[in-house]
Amino acid sequence: MKRNELIRLLLVAGCVLHRHGRRHDVYHNPATGQKQPVPRHADIDEHLANHIKKHLAK
């Protein structure tokens, strides 16, 4: 999955950028209180993308 697509899905789900890291950006869902790092690779593995969506886009 492309990183831009994943970020777009997270933003639609109500997530916000918490902070920039060195190799990852950390996104936070204020509704659930969950935080999850998102790598800065152009392509993100489908399993990892599903894990991030499952944690943040509830």
pLDDT at 48: 97
pLDDT at 38: 97
Comparing CA positions, the residue from 18, 43, 23 lying closest to residue 33 is: 18
For residues 20 and 28, give the distance between their C-alpha atoms in angstroms, rounded to a whole number. 12
Q: Give 10's DSSP letter.
A: H
pLDDT single digits (tens) 9-28: 999 999 999 999 999 999 99
